[in-house]
Amino acid sequence: LSLWHPSSLFPTSPLLSLLPPSLTSPPLLCQAGGMQALSRHLGHRSTRLVHNILHTLRNLSDMATKQDHLDDLLRQLIVLLASNDVTTVTCTAGVLCNLTCNNAKNKTIVCQLHGVQVHMYIQTLHLYI
């Protein structure tokens, strides 16, 4: 995944987001560093691509609760919480919820990065929209 050419992401990202959690592929993708590889493209200018990646990350994040070295992904997700796009914020919150569930290290990282404050601030903004 880390060697993918950006042009190959457009046709493959929708397929990855459709992988059912019951298959053996998602755990293998997590173990192979798939989440980290996908996270490198969260800053892409294509909203469609970012949505596909976030949907995939949300599906994979159920199986990655015990995975280490997700600091950069958590940092990027906190930044994405400030998006004006409702789908981006919703998927991002779902991924963060899954990655912090039963994982004290990820919870600590999110707290250190002020993720809770960002989430609360964004929630108050959306109440007034």
Domain ranges in the chain are: 6-127
Q: Which numeric CATH code is attached to 6-127?
A: 1.25.10.10
pLDDT at 99: 93
With 50 as the cut, is the pLDDT of residue 2 above it? no
pLDDT at 92: 95
pLDDT at 1: 46
Spell out the residues 6+ positions from residue 74 whose beta carbon is closer than 8 angstroms to its own.
96, 99, 106, 109, 110, 113, 115
Spell out the residues 6+ positions from residue 18 whose beta carbon is closer than 8 angstroms to its own.
none
With 50 as the cut, is the pLDDT of residue 11 above it? yes
pLDDT at 79: 93
Enter the tokens of residue 63.
Answer: 């199986």
77 contacts 92 by C-beta, under 8 angstroms: yes
**Nearest one of 10, 2, 94, 20 to 47, comparing CA atoms:** 10
Backbone angles phi, psi at 72, to 5 degrees: -65, -40
pLDDT at 21: 57
* Residue pLDDT, tens place only, 50-94: 999 999 899 888 877 777 789 999 999 999 998 989 999 999 999
| Lowest mean per-residue pLDDT among 7-16, 76-85, 118-127 | 7-16
pLDDT at 20: 55
Give the Å distances, CA to CA, from 85 to 5, 21, 43, 89, 107.
26, 26, 14, 6, 24
With 70 as the cut, is the pLDDT of residue 4 above it? no
Q: What is the DSSP letter of 23?
A: S
